[in-house]
Structure 1
Amino acid sequence: MRSRLALAALLLTAGCTTAGPDFRVPDRAVVRDPDAAAPFLSARNPAFDQAPVPDHWWRLYDDAALNDLVAGALARNADLRVAEANLEQAGALVREAEAGRAISTTVGGGATLDRPNGTGGSLPGTIGYDIGISAAYPLDLSGRIARGIEAAQANAEAAVAARDYVRVAVAAATTRAYLGVCSANARLAALDRILKLQRETLDVTRRLQRGGRGTAFDVTRAQGEVDATLAQRPAIEADRQAALFALAALLGRPARDYPAGVASCAAAPQPSAPLPVGDGASLVRRRPDIREGERRAAAASAAIGVEMAQLYPQVSLGGSAGFAGPVSGLGSGSDFRFSLGPLISWSFPNRPVVRARIDAARAAQRAALAQFDATVLGALQETETNLTRYARERERLADLTRARDTAARAAAQAGKLYHFGRADFLQLLDAQRSLAQAESALATSRAQMLDRQVDVFLSLGGGWE
């Protein structure tokens, strides 16, 4: 009796608390640092507004074609289908872990032939049978099952966050590709304007040569400027086609099935107001990769409890019922049997091995927490960097716009002076070359600024609900 009481006391002591630590974000985690929740340093620029980032940030461009493309990509993108399948798998693993708490049943039966020593060879002996069903319910006094469920649920929540981050990336990539098509068309239009001016100069030069006022050398130099400008066109057209192919892939289509209507986009849309960026606190709440990192750390913490539970016995409440006896009495009430009681399983594990696994689980949790910190730091750095780059690109764009306007006036003035014989041909070509370079730099900066805008929204984690 005393031994039974001692064993019961041991089991109760083991079951007082769930094995392993309860997860909480450490006080010294980066996410708890007040500086991580502060307004962005780079958001002081008038290009930004500290209003919350909208979920559907691409609607700030007020472009119906873009809205349709993003909606189509979020509905059919192959990477999102992968993420959804991973989420379903994680959900199935949660159900598997929860099933560990369910009652398990076993049905069995058998037959025996009993022939005592000395029985005559002609006698068959006694044929017996045993048929029954048993059931066991795990009490989980050590918390092994509970920690396993906790780990599976945390991993499932991390899979949700990973899916959300794919949505963010798909929305940003679709917007970037669409704006890339529009920007390429705008660059081609700027190139055509320069070509028109250069070809007009070439025609004038040819007429002057035929009239004896120009030289073949002047014609050759004018033709060289036209050819140099034409040489820029294939690269821009290739960029446009690459953006169209990217849109096809994002929409879940083969490359040749790109949205042909988008190819004619003449000018990239622009948000009509400063970009809403929120602050550090809203960034930490919104970024799915930060949420995923926190959930991975929680799963790693629960895994410690799973390993620690191996140090304790596993106890179940079990019962069985059935019939056993000679076949001659099959089904009679006297053959019925029934039992109910605790079932104790303790494999007396190799404790050094279990301790090593516990140490490994603790190290994995420290790594997960460090990765969580790194994710928060990376998100803050990425956001500040992209805000700064966008603000500086806007300033650069304004400078390049003024430079282009100045170059255009200079080219017009050079044309008039050349026409009246007050400037030589080289001065005209230099002025037109400067205008061509200014137009090219301006078009490139406009495209770069749009890219920077998408970078800002991507780093802010907008694009999921």
Structure 2
Amino acid sequence: MINMIKLMPFLLLTGCATVGPNWESPTTPLTSTFVSGDNKSIDEVAYTPWWREFNDPILTELVETGFSQNLDILQARERIQEANAELRKTGINSALEGSLSYSRLRSGGENQSTSISSTTGLSASYVIDLFGGVERAREAALANLVAAQADVGTERLAWLAEVVANYADARYYQQALDLTRNTISTRNSTLEVTQREYDAGLSTLYELAEAEAALQSAQAELPSYQALFRSKVFAIATLLDQPAKPLIAKIEESQSQLNLPSDPAIGLPADLLRNRPDIRYQEAILHQEVAETGVDESSLYPSISLTGSVSNKDSLDSWSFGPSISLGIFNRGYLNAQRDAQESVAKQAEIAWRASVQDAVEDVQVAQSNLSLYREQTELLVKAASSYSKALKFGYDNYKNGAMTLLDLLDTVRLEANAQISAAYAYNTSLQEWASLQIAIGAGAGFSDIPEQTADSTTQEN
């Protein structure tokens, strides 16, 4: 057995060593501003309830109650509990092992008296963390907890994007239904005028059939818009994990149009590093993989543990205590390969982090550009729809006066209806690009967070 006095100088020399790379926050080149941005930074936007700016009480209620109901978010929260449990398994809890045992045996046989024997034993072992393997494992578990917490924000933003997009689409299809009903009313009026003219001998059967066909075509569009409206509400019900029927009735009670807010402040590219939960998640994963490199590195060095046991058998006590040392020799090639593979995993995690930063910058710039351009398109299409409405009014007067043919009038009716639908569609697209821009900067990722145990408090507990 190794003499502890002889071993002490070795312990003093190596007891403070922690092998493997030390963690440093990663960096990547970033432009000082976005393409169409300014040079003003923004504060943390995780708790910004930006969906309230649409001025739709139903949407606000759905979003703020849905945070606690969506299954993906609940699953992500549960992963935090799992990560917390994994963290508690590290440190002293992974270095110390022990067990208590008790057995009672009755024995005997032919021409033998029955005898009873009992044995009680207590054994324990403690791994001395000479090279920081235990410490690195705890560091990796702590980073995994941080990643799990960031992942909740990522799931929340993904859920927010889907809820708002589906709700905005549902409101658009409601508006499309109303516009189509207006078109039906207009074409019905045209048919009535044509019918009177036909009865008076001023129109032909061909023109009457044209008017009837135009009316029927408009009527045929209603079921498709209704189906699209319901499909969006069904999607919202799934996202909220609630029945669809009452939700359909609730949304159908209101025909309100979402408000398009002014452009939000987007800050600087560097702000994304703290505001985007997916970037923080990738950074935490990188931290975890770097720490795991230290764990694998420590397996290349000697491992020393202190073991001891106490037992009592038939009132006879015995005990043992002493250190043991182990060092991988014949599996050295395997351990080196394992360490090298982990180094590659850590490098891949760094690349994934850099890619997430680039993707985030792209998300912001695309959403900002789209919002600006679709706002411009919406304004032009609204003006075009207004002009077609004026043209249609004049067209009716001209048709009644005989200055316009029925075919030209029907064409004007069709163009006016298409212009109204196009304007509504562009407005809905602008709404969704505004929401996409909020998602891109990470706004709302932490809203409605239940206070969670921080990594520091968890560390102190253990």
TM-score, L = length of structure 2: 0.86
Q: How many residues of Structure 1 are paired with residues of Structure 2 in the alignment?
A: 437
Question: How far apart are residue 383 of structure 1 and its match?
Answer: 1.3
Give the one of 75, 85, 92 matched to 1:82: 75
Q: Name the CA shift for 1:43/1:196 in 2 (closer, same or farther; >3 Å).
A: farther
Question: How far apart are residue 342 of structure 1 and its match?
Answer: 2.8
Q: Name the CA shift for 1:298/1:198 in 2 (closer, same or farther; >3 Å).
A: same
Give the partner amino acid of 1:22. Answer: N
- The answer as to whether partners of 1:386 and 1:456 remain within 8 angstroms in 2 is yes
Deviation per CA, 1:364-423, whole angstroms, max 9, x where unpaired? 000000000001100110111111111111100011011111111111112111211222
| Matching residue of 1:405 | 386
Give the one of 77, 86, 104 matched to 1:93: 86
| Matching residue of 1:59 | 52
- The answer as to whether partners of 2:4 and 2:323 remain within 8 angstroms in 1 is no
Greater Cα offset, 86-95 or 375-384: 86-95
Structure showing greater Rg? 1
Give the partner amino acid of 2:53. Answer: L
Question: How far apart are residue 446 of structure 1 and its match?
Answer: 1.8
5 Å matches for 1:11-410? 11-26=11-26, 29-30=27-28, 33-35=29-31, 38-43=32-37, 53=45, 55-98=48-91, 100-101=93-94, 103-107=96-100, 131-256=120-245, 258-323=247-312, 330=315, 336-348=317-329, 350-410=331-391
Structure 2 alignment gaps of length 5 or more: 106-110, 447-462
2:415 pairs with 1:434: yes
Greater Cα offset, 157-166 or 80-89: 80-89
TM-score, L = length of structure 1: 0.85
Deviation per CA, 1:105-139, whole angstroms, max 9, x where unpaired? 23457999xxxxxxxxx999xx9997542322222
Q: Secondary structure at the match of 1:159?
A: helix
Question: How far apart are residue 283 of structure 1 and its match?
Answer: 2.3
Mapped to 2, the partners of 1:100 and 1:51 lie a distance apart of 39
Greater Cα offset, 407-416 or 423-432: 423-432
> How large is the Cα RMSD of the aligned pairs?
3.0
Mapped to 2, the partners of 1:184 and 1:284 lie a distance apart of 37
The percent identity for this pair of structures is: 27
| Matching residue of 1:117 | none
Question: How far apart are residue 162 of structure 1 and its match?
Answer: 0.9
Q: Name the CA shift for 1:139/1:52 in 2 (closer, same or farther; >3 Å).
A: closer
Mapped to 2, the partners of 1:226 and 1:49 lie a distance apart of 55
Mapped to 1, the partners of 2:215 and 2:117 lie a distance apart of 105
Mapped to 2, the partners of 1:42 and 1:368 lie a distance apart of 30
Question: How far apart are residue 347 of structure 1 and its match?
Answer: 4.3
Mapped to 2, the partners of 1:2 and 1:110 lie a distance apart of 32
- The answer as to whether partners of 1:168 and 1:458 remain within 8 angstroms in 2 is yes
Q: Name the CA shift for 1:82/1:52 in 2 (closer, same or farther; >3 Å).
A: closer
- The answer as to whether partners of 1:83 and 1:163 remain within 8 angstroms in 2 is yes
Q: Name the CA shift for 1:408/1:271 in 2 (closer, same or farther; >3 Å).
A: closer
Give the one of 405, 426, 434 matched to 1:424: 405
Mapped to 1, the partners of 2:441 and 2:380 lie a distance apart of 27
Question: How far apart are residue 274 of structure 1 and its match?
Answer: 3.0
